[in-house]
Amino acid sequence: MGARLRTGATALFAAALALDVGATAMGQAKDAAPVTPEALSAHVKILASDDFQGRKPGTVGEEKTIAYIQDQFKKIGLKPAAGAKGYLQDVPMTEVTSKADGPMVFTATGKDGQAKSLSYEYFSQMIVWNRQRTTHAEVKDSDLVFVGYGITAPEFGWDDYAGVDVKGKTVVILVNDPGFATGDPALFGGGAMTWYGRWPYKYEEAARHGAAAAIIVHETRAAGYPWGVVANSNSVPKLTLMPADGGLQSRSAVEGWVQLDVAKELFAAAGLDYGTLKDSAARRGFKAVPMNAKMSVGITPVVRDVVSHNVVGIVPGAKRPDEVVLVGAHWDHLGVGPAVNGDTIYNGALDNATGVAGLIEMAKRYTHGPKPDRTLMFIAYTAEEQGLLGSEYYAQHPLYPVGKTVAGFNMDGLGVLGPVHDVVLVGGKKSDLEERLKAWTDAHGMVVNPEPFPERGYYYRSDHFNLAKVGIPVIDAGMGIDSVEHGAEWGKAKEEEYTRLHYHQPSDEWSPAMDLRGGAVQVNMWYDISRDLASSDAWPKWYDKAEFKAARDKSQGK
């Protein structure tokens, strides 16, 4: 999950929920009672308890989590999907546990011709890992090349790798993209991060160019989270999907991050100025810079194969059961990791026990109400925190044809801070699902606002992104930050506080103070919108300039 702190609903709609007589916002027939905050809280309390050990895929925590979700699906009356094993879709993966054998060592030669050795410690100053099936990974005296933002994007006329050979070398990369760095709306997404700004893309691109190692420089604002998130998330065993041939996807031998101070010291030792080169990297015509420095670091990975699981249940459609509306939320979190204030269990209450609670309770409204014309699929994805792996696997191995999947809705974190005036749309200007969202907010006295931190690239940081890549129109939105009781600045401060102190930390725990009234509104909002769609013959469409339109056209034979 991206570190979005979901907030609540307006007092107007809270009252409407309390007085609900069973009709949906879109004029549907009488159906089941709305989702309540109490019901959501009960699920979160269980899923985020220490008994579930942080819900890490491939652990006892997974066994308990998927057993709980399956039991809930069965109790509320969801049916297994064709092609699944009961309620489960197997997701074969490889787990690699990596830790540096010792410090990361650089040898840099400055303008005076003198060589200087620099050494940096694992976790506090740098973090590295390996995702290959090997017993040892190492780069020794590997030449460093600064490749700016590490982007090859023909549609933007941008190629940071032009004219440089990085095969067998170590590339040093900036996080985010030139649009963020300059705020220039003519560059990439302007202030909003594009896929090219995300770290998974940067490692993949480095591997495509044959780099032996790829190191990203961490900066909190550009990344969207502090160093602690990077260190905690990447010092635990990492998962990757297992390709059909049993091998692992091509990756550099070493991937990792370094702290900003490390980068500045390294550049200075090599006779370079980090700030100057960073500025030049955001301008058209930038050329990669050999750094007159070498890096050495070793990793001894421990590899094991893991079969994790997506949990899937359906409400079969009454009239067009082959047409599917998909609702998803990831069930996993980080498991057991480095101690913070004596606590080693990363419970993931907001991220994303709340989303799973919403998935279960929304499904319950469907099974206790009139049958929709189209099939509703509810899917709890595995391994989102490991790189959106469960949704990637589903997109590659769908249980229903992609071209017959009408639309998708994502719940990655529910509202926990009480009433607000607004709904925040993640991404935006993608598909006409946004028009359905606006119709709903208009009907309930709320407004749709753009995300307050577009530079963090949340659209590319949750499971809906993998569905979008294969063409399925998807939408992700949550309760906003304009608090009815405290104002927008308070809400923004709370979001920033969550990112700084609790996101991907053991302190993301269930508490009676969690105000899930907003979460209930969020779930009921998606219920209303999805039911209207499932009871119609409409097919949502990507806007013409959306990057996913071509994939949709292809999936539907256009």
Q: Are 284 and 159 in contact (CB under 8 A)?
A: no
Q: Are 104 and 117 in contact (CB under 8 A)?
A: no
CA angle 403-406-410, nearest 5°?
A: 115
Give the β-pairing of 115-120 and 104-109.
Answer: antiparallel
99-300, which class in CATH? alpha beta
Q: How far is the C-alpha of 136 from the C-alpha of 253, rounded, in Å?
A: 9
Q: Are 362 and 76 in contact (CB under 8 A)?
A: no
Q: What's the pLDDT score for residue 275?
A: 98
Q: Outline where DSSP puts E strands in 70-197.
A: 88-97, 104-109, 115-120, 126-129, 137-146, 152-153, 158-159, 170-174
Per-residue pLDDT tens digits for 315-337: 999 999 999 999 999 999 999 99
* CATH assignment, 11-92+304-555: 3.40.630.10
Per-residue pLDDT tens digits for 151-177: 999 989 999 999 999 999 999 999 999
The candidate with the shortest Cα–Cα distance to 359, out of 413, 425, 416, 406, is 413
Domain with CATH 3.40.630.10 in the chain: 11-92+304-555
Query: Which regions of the chain are under pLDDT 70?
Result: 1-30, 244-249
Domain with CATH 3.50.30.30 in the chain: 99-300
Q: What's the pLDDT score for residue 63?
A: 99
Q: How far is the C-alpha of 420 from the C-alpha of 410, rounded, in Å?
A: 20
Q: How far is the C-alpha of 270 from the C-alpha of 294, rounded, in Å?
A: 10
Describe the strand order of the beta sheet including 104-109 as a list of residue ranges. 115-120, 104-109, 289-299, 137-146, 170-174, 213-217, 254-258, 126-129
Tokens of 167: 């095969």
Looking at 403-487, list the stretches that DSSP marks H as alpha helix, in order from N- to C-terminal side: 433-443, 464-469
Q: How far is the C-alpha of 323 from the C-alpha of 537, rounded, in Å?
A: 10
